[in-house]
Amino acid sequence: MTPFQAVVLSLVQAVTEFLPISSSGHLILVPYFLGWPDQGLSFDVAAHFGTMLAVVAYFRRELLDLVTGFFTGAPGRHDFDPRRLGWALVVGTIPAALAGLALASTIEAHLRSPALIACTTLVYGLLLFWADRAGRQQRDLASLGVGAGLLIGLAQALALVPGTSRSGITITAALLLGFTRPVAAEFAFLLFIPVGLLAGGHDLLKLWRTGELWHQLTPILIAIVVSGAAGYLVIGWLLDWLRRRPLTVFVVYRVALAVVIVATLLARG
C-alpha cells in the first residue's frame, strides 16, 4: 500500500464511519472500484482506532462527566444521568460483542461481496428515510435508559454486515424510539467507543499473534493520524447538520451508490 492510498482510505474511513453510509462497505468498495489491492486487516484496525480516538476527543467533557458520575453518583455538568446513560452504553454494547464473537469469521469470509453491499446500502438507507420521517423526535439524552440502549444495541449488531452502516442503523433505531436527530447521533457515537475497543482489541490480538501488525507500519500510522483528525471534524459537522436538517441527503447517496454498484457489476459481467 502506498502512502497516497493510505491517506485516501483513511479519509474514507473518517467520513463514512460517522455519516450513515457504512465505513466497512466503502473500505471494500473503494479498492474494488480503483483496482487497488485489499488494504488488509491491520490497516482497517488502525483506521477504526483513529476514528475512535476522534470520538473520545470530541466528547471528552461528556465522557469525563459520564465516567466520574457513573462511579461516584455525581450529576455532572451535562443534561444526562451518568449512571443511567452508562448502563445504557454497557447494555447496548453486549449484542454487537456477542454477535461479533459468534459471526465475525463467517461474515469476513462470506459477506463482503459488492452485490450484498448494494442490497444492504439500499434497504437500510430506505429504512433510515422512514425512521427520519416517522420518528417523533422528542426525547432527549436524559431519557435514554437501559431499555432503549438494548434496542439500539440490537440494531447495532446488524452493522457487522458490510453496507449496513453502524452509525446509520443505530441512528435509525434511536429515531424510531422517538429521540431527536442530534441525540440519536450522539448516542451512536458514544456507543462506538466500547464496541470499537472490544472489536479493535480482538483484531489487534489476532494481528499480534500472526506478526502482521508490523508489516505495514507507515500505512498504520497514517491511518491513525488522518482518520482521527478528519473524523473529529466530521463529527462536529454532522451534529451541526442534524440540528438543522433531515437525513435525506444521506439516503439519496445510499440509493445512488446501490445503483452504481449494481450497474458496475452488470457492466463487468
pLDDT tens over the chain, length 269 residues:
899 999 999 999 999 999 999 998 899 899 989 999 888 777 888 898 899 999 999 999 999 999 999 998 887 777 889 999 999 999 999 999 999 888 877 877 777 789 999 999 999 999 999 999 999 999 999 999 999 999 999 999 999 899 999 999 999 999 999 999 999 999 999 999 998 888 777 777 776 776 666 667 788 889 999 999 999 999 999 999 999 999 999 999 999 999 999 999 998 86
Angle at 257 between CA 264 and CA 259, to 5 degrees: 55
Task: Work out the number of other CB atoms within 10 angstroms of the CB of residue 60.
Answer: 10
Residue 244: Cβ-neighbour burial (10 angstroms; 0-12, 13-18, 19+): exposed
Cell digits for 17?
464511519
Decide: pTM greater than 0.75.
Answer: yes
How far CA 261 is from CA of 46, 107, 143, 258, in Å, comes to: 27, 20, 40, 5
CA-based end-to-end distance of the chain: 28
The continuous run of DSSP H or E covering 64 comes out as helix 60-72
Cα-Cα-Cα-Cα dihedral sign, residues 259, 265, 266, 267? positive
